[in-house]
A and B are shown apart, each in its own frame.
Chain A
Amino acid sequence: MLSLLREIFSYSFLVRALIVGSLVALCAALLGVSLVLKRYSMIGDGLSHVGFGALSIAMAMNAAPLAVAIPVVILAAFLLLRISQNSRLGGDSAIALIASASLAAGVLVTSLTSGLNADVYSYMFGSILAMSAEDVYLSLALAAVVLLLFVVFYNRIFAITFDESFARATGTRVSRYNLLIALLTALTIVIGMRIMGTMLISGLIIFPALTAMRVCRSFRGVVLTSAIISVFSFLAGMVLSYVMRTPAGASIVVVNALLFCLFALIGKLAKR
């Protein structure tokens, strides 16, 4: 085991992926608790598809992928939040519309220009080779911001997650905090989706929170447990992917799914 870890740490691209990935996993877990409890889980999925569209178009235009994807996904996050809050279309179907439309746009643009090559494949299912030194700094900054904001606004995030109408009535600027959560989610998704893949990044947001909710009784417990679960699953998934030579994103989500089953079982047994 030790020699395996030493081997993994000898590849600098793997070390980069580990740093970026664990930080993204941590952020995703914290944001995920609020998103899942507010029934906004699908926003993560929608945003990752928008991200795919943006990345493909950026690639076709030979532009820097993150410079295009970050603003587009942030914009989409605000839009999706708006739609799911007050829309006659219905939040879930609106998200599905936007998601499939941007996925289709991405696929079309790529097939017309470079063709569906290995790069597109790696956007779909993730690649640990994709992380540059620049990404490491970016994810460090993101994680610092998310952690800081989450700690500073923890009590308000709890208040608006538990009961928006009460929070609004007692003077909390609910829509401002919702925007903040959407913004941070957008950033987390754009940075994380290149390791995890478009199809799998939302698992990183949804699974840890749901797993923690199987056994934890308090909000604080859910937050801390999901953070630990998320980072653990990421690291375990990476090791699994290295040993089995499987794609990282899928391996991480499988570890998450197994943990979910385990916690669901523990929750059931504890209730008896």
Chain B
Amino acid sequence: MKENGTENDVLIRCKGLTLGYETGVVLTDVNFDVHAGDYVCIVGENGSGKSTLIKALLGLLPPRSGEIAFSGVSAREIGYLPQQTALQKDFPASVYEVVLSGCANSLGRTPFYGKAQHARAAENLARLGIADLAKTSYRTLSGGQQQRVLLARALCATTKLLLLDEPVAALDPIATNDLYALIRRLNREEGITILMVSHDISCALHDATHVLQLSDRGVVFFGTAAAYRKSPIGARFLRCACAADYPRIQFGVWEEE
């Protein structure tokens, strides 16, 4: 299924994966490889098992059968960007505190953050262009800025792999484009592997190298973005999605950079 890349740079390999809860099976026979440097867009309707797959990738839901093999990265070292909760929106915390909390997975048995972790937080603040916000309160930021902060936190937890769950769900078009541009830069210039769950198919068209489509309890498509565009499944899904996105194409929002 995989066109480019070699066996050596496989980061995640899902083989014969079946996932489910006590109430029943959600996904069966999921097979795909993620290579270093890929930008994988996971799409599918509501209830198609996207969140279940995320839980399994994060190691929070043990597979019923099959396996998820990581090489060069562990489930703990995934930079995860969860969907924002209502509770967070007015949380009294400084931007720096939030970003630093991304280093929690490297704390081990020590209770406090050391110099290396503080340096890392500062570096990631600068990397995402929010160093000047470090002392600002998280709750006073705009939605786009909040996502940047959470992305900086995710980068503190990882050096290789970001897992983004609907990162643009609550953003306006301009902030959406900013965030996509940022993710693209992290992927192309810094070689960070991206796994992104999205309702917004435009990312699949524009930035992704690969598309994973879930439906009816399984994977209905996995392959390169180019192949996806040509496939009947992709063409049908894109047609619906593009109808919804029409105004944005119209006004050239996609033509940035």
Chain A interface (Cβ < 8 Å from any Cβ of B): 37-39, 151-156, 158-159, 162-163, 165-172, 212-213, 216-222
B97 touches A37 (CB 8 A): no
Contacts of A172 in B (CB 8 A): 104-105
If A162-B88, A213-B92, A216-B92 touch, does A170 touch B97 (CB 8 Å cutoff)? no
Taken together as a complex, chains A and B put the C-alpha atoms of A213 and B88 apart, in Å, by 13
Taken together as a complex, chains A and B put the C-alpha atoms of A172 and B135 apart, in Å, by 25
Instruction: Annotate B90-102 by CB proximity to A: 1 below 8 A, 0 otherwise.
Output: 0111100110111
Taken together as a complex, chains A and B put the C-alpha atoms of A169 and B157 apart, in Å, by 10
Contacts of B91 in A (CB 8 A): 37, 162, 219
Contacts of B113 in A (CB 8 A): 155
B78 touches A219 (CB 8 A): no
Contacts across chains A and B counted by CB atoms under 8 Å: 87
A155 touches B101 (CB 8 A): yes
Taken together as a complex, chains A and B put the C-alpha atoms of A217 and B78 apart, in Å, by 29
A170 touches B157 (CB 8 A): yes
Taken together as a complex, chains A and B put the C-alpha atoms of A163 and B157 apart, in Å, by 14
Q: Which of A39, A152, A162, A212 contacts B93 (CB 8 A)?
A: A162
Chain B interface (Cβ < 8 Å from any Cβ of A): 58-60, 75-76, 78, 80, 82, 85, 87-88, 91-94, 97-98, 100-102, 104-105, 107, 111-113, 135-137, 140, 153-154, 157
A41 to chain B, nearest CB (A): 12
Taken together as a complex, chains A and B put the C-alpha atoms of A172 and B80 apart, in Å, by 13
Can you sample 26 A-B contacts with CB below 8 Å?
Answer: A151-B111, A152-B111, A154-B111, A155-B104, A155-B107, A155-B112, A155-B113, A163-B82, A163-B88, A165-B80, A166-B82, A166-B154, A167-B101, A169-B58, A169-B60, A170-B105, A171-B105, A213-B92, A216-B92, A217-B94, A217-B137, A218-B135, A219-B92, A219-B94, A219-B97, A221-B92
Contacts of B100 in A (CB 8 A): 155
B111 touches A155 (CB 8 A): yes
A96 to chain B, nearest CB (A): 21
Q: List 18 additional contacts besides A165-B80, A167-B101, A169-B82; criterion CB under 8 Å.
A: A37-B92, A151-B111, A154-B112, A155-B100, A155-B104, A162-B88, A162-B91, A166-B80, A166-B102, A168-B58, A169-B58, A169-B78, A170-B76, A172-B104, A218-B92, A218-B135, A218-B137, A222-B92
Contacts of B107 in A (CB 8 A): 155-156
Q: Is the interface of B mostly helix, strand, loop or mixed?
A: mixed
Taken together as a complex, chains A and B put the C-alpha atoms of A220 and B91 apart, in Å, by 12
If A163-B85, A166-B82, A171-B105 touch, does A158 touch B93 (CB 8 Å cutoff)? yes
Contacts of A38 in B (CB 8 A): 87
Smallest Cβ-Cβ distance to A217: which chain B residue: B137
A218 touches B94 (CB 8 A): yes
B87 to chain A, nearest CB (A): 6
Contacts of A166 in B (CB 8 A): 80, 82, 101-102, 153-154
If A39-B87, A152-B111, A155-B113 touch, does A169 touch B80 (CB 8 Å cutoff)? yes
